[in-house]
Amino acid sequence: MSTDQITEEAIRHLVDEFYIKVRADRELGPIFVRAIPGDWGEHFATMRDFWSSVMLTSGRYKGNPVAVHQRVEGIELQLFDRWLALFDETCGELFDETTGAAFSTKARRIAESLKLAVFYRPDRPWPKSASESASNSTSESPP
Amino acid sequence: MTFVVTDNCIRCKYMDCVEVCPVDCFYEGDNMLVIHPDECIDCGVCEPECPAAAILPDTQPGLENWLKLNAEYASVWPNITIKREPPADAKEFDGVEGKLESYFSPKPGQGD
């Protein structure tokens, strides 16, 4: 899973570049700006710690992202796909394919968990995500 | 989707997982840990950290009962985020089969 390119420096770069895109994005920008008013320094530091914990098992991030996302005003299911598209775009610009895929795979799994936590209701059908269908069809096709 | 703690944690309880978990979703029983399925974000960081290979993704077939056990006890056992010394005889129990039937304790652990 991990590659030589996954370093604290790479994570810092990814977080910086990614949130520049998020803030400028027509769909995500307003939601994030409302959720994080004022100085983004703290958010950048939090997200660096988060990805460092997830990719380098540094244990630096300790928090409750489920609760944080449940509180976000205006959060919508399809915005997770937009987030992932921008994240993939940033990874594509910064990393080789293997490294980008390592980040992207983690991001997809975490996004799916957050989506379930924020939106899942036992009495409603759960839409199969595009990423999940794609990975299923890949695993079912012959090598 | 979540990860679940399974049989081989019982009486091994190495606790390496609690240090790396970014969302502090481990709960401590007398002789094993469980993951709170609603708090786990499926990041998978804990899975390779477990010396007993007791942590598995719930997408693996046959884990329904373990998922239930994790969910049930995560709501009653105390949270654990700081690793302590594992039991002195942890190594002897690593790999013993059918520990749930023989050794599982529903009692809570000490937590942090």
DSSP A33-62: HHHS-S--HHHHHHHHHHHHHHHH------
- Hey, are the CB atoms on A106 and B39 less than 8 Å from each other? no
What is the spatial distance between Cα A117 and Cα A121, in angstroms, rounded to a whole number? 9
Residue A137's pLDDT is 42
Q: Which positions in chain B touch A59 (Cβ < 8 Å)?
A: 19-22
Contact A47, A12 (CB under 8 A): no
ipTM here: 0.86
Average pLDDT value for residue range B10-26: 97
Which of A57, A106, A112 is the closest to B1 by Cβ?
Answer: A112
More confident residue, A4 or B48: B48
Cross-chain residue pair A50–B22, CB shorter than 8 Å: yes
Residue B11 C-alpha, separation from nearest chain A C-alpha, in angstroms: 25
Residue of B nearest to A64 (CA): B23
With bands split at pLDDT 50, 70 and 90, how would you rate the model's confidence at A142? Answer: very low
The reported pTM is 0.86
Confidence of residue A135 (pLDDT cuts 50, 70, 90): very low
* Phi-psi region at B111: left, alpha or beta (left = phi > 0; alpha = psi -120 to 50): left
Residue of A nearest to B24 (CA): A62
Query: What tens digit of pLDDT does each residue of A6-50 get?
Result: 999 999 999 999 999 999 999 999 999 999 988 899 999 999 999
B6 contacts B88 by C-beta, under 8 angstroms:
no
Q: Tell how far CA A78 is from the center of its chain.
A: 13
What's residue A3's pLDDT? 67
Q: Which residues contact A7 (CB under 8 A, 6 or more apart)?
A: A56
3-state DSSP helix/strand/coil percent for chain B, to nearest 5?
A: 30, 15, 60
User: Shortest CB distance from B42 goes to which of A63, A64, A112?
Assistant: A112
Please name which of A53, A112, A41 lies closest in space to residue A83, comparing C-alpha atoms. A112
pLDDT value of position A40 = 92
Terminal C-alpha separation, chain B: 26
Q: What sign for the dihedral angle of Cα A6, A7, A13, A18?
A: positive
Give the closest residue to B95 by CA, choosing from B32, B45, B51, B47: B51
User: Which of B15, B16, B23 to mutate to probe the A interface, most A CBs <10 Å?
Assistant: B23
Report CB contact under 8 Å: A63, B23: yes
